[in-house]
Amino acid sequence: MKNLFNNLSKKSRQRLSLFIFLLSVYSISGQEKQQDSVKLEKLDEVLVKAVRVDAKSPITHTNVSKKEIAKRNLGQDIPVLLNFLPSVVTTSDAGAGVGYTGIRVRGVSPQSTNITINGIPYNDAESLGTFWVNLGDFASSVESLQLQRGVGTSTNGSGAFGASINILTDAASKEANGEISNSFGSFNTRKHTVKFSTGQIYADTERSRSVEIAGRLSNISSDGYIDRATADLKSYFLQGAYLDDNTLIKAIVFGGNEVTYQAWNGITAEQLEEDRTFNPSGQFTDEDGNIQFYDNEVDNYSQDHYQLHWNQSYNNNWSTTIGLNYTYGRGYFEQYEDDTDEIDSYGGIVLATDVRIEEDEDGNPVEIPITDLIRRRWLDNDFYVINASANYKNNEIDLIFGGSFSHYNGDHFGEVIWARAFSENGSIRDRYYDGNAKKNDLSTFAKANYKLNDRIQLYGDLQVRNVNYETSGINSNLTSFNIDENYTFFNPKAGITYALNDNNDFYFSYARANREPSRDEFENNPEIEPEQLNDFELGWRHRKGNFSFSANGYLMLYNEQLVLTGEINDVGAQLRDNSGESYRLGLELEAILPVTSKLTLQPNLTLSTNKNRETIVSIDGEFQNLGRTDIAFSPDIIAANAIVFQPIQNLQMSLLSKYVGEQFMGNTENPLSKLDSFFVNDFNVTYTLETNSIFKSIVFTGLVNNIFNEKLVSNGFFGSFDFNDPDSPTGTSTGFFSGFYPQATTNFLLGLTLNF
């Protein structure tokens, strides 16, 4: 741990020291035990109460516990662990679930899924996306999470447009414990984790005040299913907690470093048939004309998070929560540019060392200056957050109100670390572009559940959010990038839950959401508009004993929805653009069916239609109205099932099945953009051996993914380009291109966990 502390940056060490100091001062001084001391709700859960909903709320949601996560936690990223939840489709650039992974809910892009960790926004402030690769083995530090589908309740950070995932990290442990976990599997995938907790160390004889220290160190590595798509993820998690009858204070530090070989360029349809593991990233031709691959075509990024949370109960009715966060992120991706003709894009730093002969429009030879170089494109950013909320509750009403403010300051710059020739005015590591972005996000909210009588519960939620986004300097293509936008959004929500009896609830809710464009959208279209959603949800929840069933219908009406266009930019990020009016209409079914005391079925099914009301595109030099078209990456059918068999108490076997219907990668329903449907099955087994020796228990875990060797593709890209065509009536024709990200065929992971 000492070495880990020393390896942190000076800025990181200062903030870690500050948080530990604050925690120690508070724990030593203590607080007078209040006269009105009450038994709190589970203290750790208060951290996320402002962004979560309970079982009676008219919000469509699924809760996932630590125990459920542990069954398949063998190194794959959190999106892959959520793959079998309703309306979810996941994907992995490297094909095996380690490295860059993504999740789409109800067909909505990852940028529209709001992620919070202990109530702190995690989405990147500029791209709005979530880079799970920066959270290596974070699932090992998750106490629980809640996936809300649709707009959901008001949350901190950028608003939810398709879903929100609210993560609660490890609860304070009552007893001292430790864990050593190792797993190995296909593609040389390995995970090594060490965890510890001191348990609650009591500061007085009444056992009313205590302190707990806990931590985790992890390393995950994988060669990836795709060629050279390696991942090396090092991460840590450290928390200190102070507890008494009415107080919980937590100081949490987590983060790490990821180095992943780039696999975001995808492959062509021909390559998919001939060599589906081929990776074009890093490819260049050497001086002898041989094809080579640059060995350091990697993404290298570090991120450290510092959180301080204070939950306080004052009496039977009132409690408050304050959360502070600082995130420091820095890193780059490195690329070998082979025979690049974009000499002018490097601001006079490099010189041409060769020429390429091309023909102009008249067929005359033209010399194009070219050179080889290696570049790094950097991000260096700071992110500050303060959350505050107050909760009042009695037998009839549960009221929460509060606010959140965040400030982001990020530098974007590029370096040339090698070139065949530098100019007289340029040298290694000179910045060929340099820009800055600042974003302030202020939101206030008030939400309440009101018990009208024994059968009817009303829900209301009002949020006002103000966003200011400013950029300066130049971007990576050496053009000026100056944005100064200010948005104020009003997001009302309301709902009603009706309890027919002890076993049946019916609910209806309406929610409005507004969301700003991302940096990429501003770069591609300076006139981009924010998107708006009106979400209607109607559901039925039935519970009787161990049997449960829920049905939820939804209608999501969009104005200027930022839909995925199918195209990607030069770093593999999927691009979006306004689509005018569009909608998503669907039905979600979910059940737990105990067939016998040892056999349970857990099916879910989503049937939907997802349409742009009008799609106008330019084809062969003429604008064409294609009318109503499917929204990109929005399959009409998503289904999953788990057959869980537990012959004895400590042994569980599960067959996990997932079906995803066909979908288009663009919004024109072009056949070249179609992804075929797929049906994939995984087999999971866990066995716990209770011991009376050094270890409390030994847990054996096995996971075979894609047991029937399905050759599936869950993600890709599609685009068009115009070219001169003298045979065309307009003199222009349109060509199309597509790329695919194949997922791994049959593969396995085996794990052993020692608990003591």
Helical H runs in 251-352? 269-274
A 10 A CB-CB count for 671 gives 8
pLDDT at residue 35, as a whole number: 34
Task: Decide if pLDDT at 31 tops 50.
Answer: no
Q: What is the DSSP pairing of strand 163-169 with strand 651-660?
A: unpaired
CA distance 188 to 165: 30
The closest alpha carbon to 716, from 746, 735, 744, 743, belongs to: 743
**pLDDT tens digit sequence for 404-440:** 999 999 999 999 999 999 988 788 888 999 999 999 9
> Which tokens go with 729?
């009536």
**pLDDT tens digit sequence for 470-509:** 999 999 888 899 999 999 999 999 999 999 999 999 999 9
Report the Cα 206 to chain-centroid distance in Å: 43
A 10 A CB-CB count for 707 gives 16
**pLDDT tens digit sequence for 566-599:** 787 777 777 888 888 999 999 999 999 999 999 9
Q: Under a CB-based contact definition with an 8 Å cutoff, are residues 283 and 267 in contact?
A: no
Task: Decide if pLDDT at 77 tops 90.
Answer: yes
CA distance 262 to 717: 16
Higher pLDDT, 237 or 158: 237
CA distance 585 to 608: 5
Name the average pLDDT for the chain: 90
Report the Cα 312 to chain-centroid distance in Å: 30
Q: Under a CB-based contact definition with an 8 Å cutoff, are residues 321 and 46 in contact?
A: yes
Strand partners, 301: 258, 331
Task: Decide if pLDDT at 446 tops 50.
Answer: yes
pLDDT at residue 9, as a whole number: 53
**b or e along 475-503 (b: 16 or more beta carbons within 10 Å of the residue's beta carbon)?**
bbeeeebeeeeeeebebebebbbebeeee
Extended strands (E) in 353-396:
354-359, 365-393
pLDDT at residue 580, as a whole number: 86
Of 273-287, 513-527, 603-617, 727-741, which gets the smallest average pLDDT?
Answer: 727-741
DSSP state of 200: -
Q: Where are the domains of the chain?
A: 2-209+237-755
Which residue do the tokens 């940028």 mark? 111
Confidence label for 42 from pLDDT (cuts 50, 70 and 90): low
**pLDDT tens digit sequence for 78-89:** 999 999 999 999
**b or e along 195-222 (b: 16 or more beta carbons within 10 Å of the residue's beta carbon)?**
bbbbbbeebeeeeebbbbbbbbbbbbbb
pLDDT at residue 517, as a whole number: 93
Q: What is the DSSP pairing of strand 547-559 with strand 531-544?
A: antiparallel
Q: What is the pTM assigned to this prediction? A: 0.91
**pLDDT tens digit sequence for 696-708:** 999 999 999 999 9
CATH 2.40.170.20 fits 2-209+237-755, yes or no: yes
pLDDT at residue 388, as a whole number: 95
